[in-house]
Amino acid sequence: MKTTSPSKKSYDVVVIGGGPAGTTAATLLQRAGHSCLVLEGSRFPRYHIGESLIPHTYGTLDRLGLLPKLRSSHFPVKHSVRFVQPSGEEADPFYFSETIEGPRAQTWQVERSEFDQMCAENARDAGVEICSGARVSEVCFDGDRATGATVRFHGSEPVTIGSRVVVDASGRATVIGNQLGLKERVPALRKASIWTYYRGGFRRDGIDAGETTIFMIQNRGWFWYIPLPDDVVSVGVVASPEYLFDESHDLDQIFAREVQRARSLARWLHGAEPVAPVRGIRELAYLNRETVGNGWVMVGDAAGFLDPIYSSGLYLALASAELAAGCIDRGLQEDDVSAETLGQFTRPLWDGVEIIWRLIHAFYQPSFSFRRFVKRFPEHRATLIDCLVGDVVNKEMSSFVDALATMVDPPPRLRI
């Protein structure tokens, strides 16, 4: 992404962050006839975690026009997810084609530096102005109404850019959430993660070559194993911080210890070469008490993040950005950018997130297992796969949720 300075002093929409959520919102709004400026703090291509797409991203990727690029990319095609027990016993994969027909039943494992650049170039092709090396320090308000953003270009003096709507797509940095004190922990979900990359780990063949494999470990923790291009695999562990950091704070040491404990995973990595530093996050989950206000909207991780177990992050980034773009488009056309108008997408979105939240909560309860759930409620296997593919927004799932509640008490509702 080339570094540029904005051509104007004000835009219809200023987007903070050029990740998938930010560029999706900007592309769709620019195409709808609104001038959009994306302010991205880093310089692309930049590293990012979160490589596994789920199939329900298909619709947004299609409307963005990204499918031909993904089809001709070197990203492994993902047809399924498989769980491996701590004993090494492998469950049958959940193939997405069990509930989805045709090309929508497959998706991709993406290298994020490349995928995010692909999304950004697509936005630029749509006419969006993107400035990289442009770090937003704060959102400007007139009373409670957002009016633009203050930004430093390449570390220079701060400049204020005006806008009718500010979209916060700053990911975990959550610019508005921090500025307004809206960001909160999720006490019922305290998980940490440590991850790295190897070249030369075990790879399956054929339709399973691009599967995500989840290795369960004791203490309700788990590893992801995600095949990427060039024979690289992304491998990461998720568990409670108390468990992961009980003996050491050294990420390399903890990661090596956990791989050795997960024996079947250690076998898959035997002889593989580490090709990246070990990285970690001590507290994965957070939410904002409010995600929409007068003249502003949060999308993607800026609004909140729960857990990577179902690879729902990129789906929620794309879906929230597309839904928000629809409301912002209407608001701009009708000259009404009130929280009420901009926020009309939040209820259906967060109802879907509540379903994912229940499944995340269930996953971490020792009394719960998918195998037992599907054995007891075979009629809900299809709905479970709907959840795993991301088909949760605007869906009626009460009988599935009731069945789940017979096996595990529901968690407290999310605040939003």
Ligand X SMILES: Cc1cc2nc3c(=O)[nH]c(=O)nc-3n(C[C@H](O)[C@H](O)[C@H](O)COP(=O)(O)OP(=O)(O)OC[C@H]3O[C@@H](n4cnc5c(N)ncnc54)[C@H](O)[C@@H]3O)c2cc1C
User: DSSP readout, 165-206?
Assistant: EEEE--GGG-HHHHHTT-EEE-TT---EEEEEEEES-----G
173 binds ligand X (CB under 6 A): yes
Cβ-Cβ contacts under 8 Å for 30 (sequence gap 6 or more): 36, 123, 126, 127, 128
Question: How far apart are CB 14 and ligand X at their closest, in Å?
Answer: 10
Instruction: Select from 334, 384, 371, 300 the least CA-distant residue to 22.
Output: 300
1 binds ligand X (CB under 6 A): no
Site map for ligand X, 178-217, x if CB under 6 A? ---------------x-x----------------------
Question: How far apart are CB 251 and ligand X at their closest, in Å?
Answer: 13
Nearer to ligand X, 232 or 408 (CB): 232
Single residue of 300, 331, 343, 352 touching ligand X by CB under 6 A: 300
Q: Which long-range contacts (CB under 8 A, 24 or more apart) does 251-259 make?
A: 251/194, 251/278, 251/279, 251/280, 252/278, 254/194, 255/194, 255/195, 255/196, 258/194, 258/217, 258/221, 258/223, 259/223, 259/235
Q: Is the Cβ–Cβ distance between 107 and 388 less than 8 Å?
A: no
Single residue of 6, 20, 55, 304 touching ligand X by CB under 6 A: 20
56 binds ligand X (CB under 6 A): no
133-172 residues near ligand X, rule: CB under 6 A: 135-136, 169-171
Q: Which part of the chain contacts ligand X (CB under 6 A), choosing from 120-128, 264-272, 298-306, 337-345?
A: 298-306
> Which ranges in 89-190 belong to alpha helices (H)?
112-125, 175-179
303-362 residues near ligand X, rule: CB under 6 A: 308, 311, 313-314, 317
Single residue of 301, 322, 329, 391 touching ligand X by CB under 6 A: 301
Q: Which part of the chain contacts ligand X (CB under 6 A), choosing from 34-42, 91-99, 269-277, 392-400?
A: 34-42
Burial class of residue 187 (count of CB atoms within 10 Å of its CB; 0-12, 13-18, 19+): exposed
Q: Is the Cβ–Cβ distance between 383 and 406 less than 8 Å?
A: no
Question: How far apart are CB 379 and ligand X at their closest, in Å?
Answer: 28
Question: How far apart are CB 180 and ligand X at their closest, in Å?
Answer: 14
Which spans of this chain sit near ligand X (rule: CB under 6 A)? 16-22, 39-42, 48-52, 135-136, 169-171, 173, 175, 193, 195, 236, 281, 284, 300-302, 308, 311, 313-314, 317
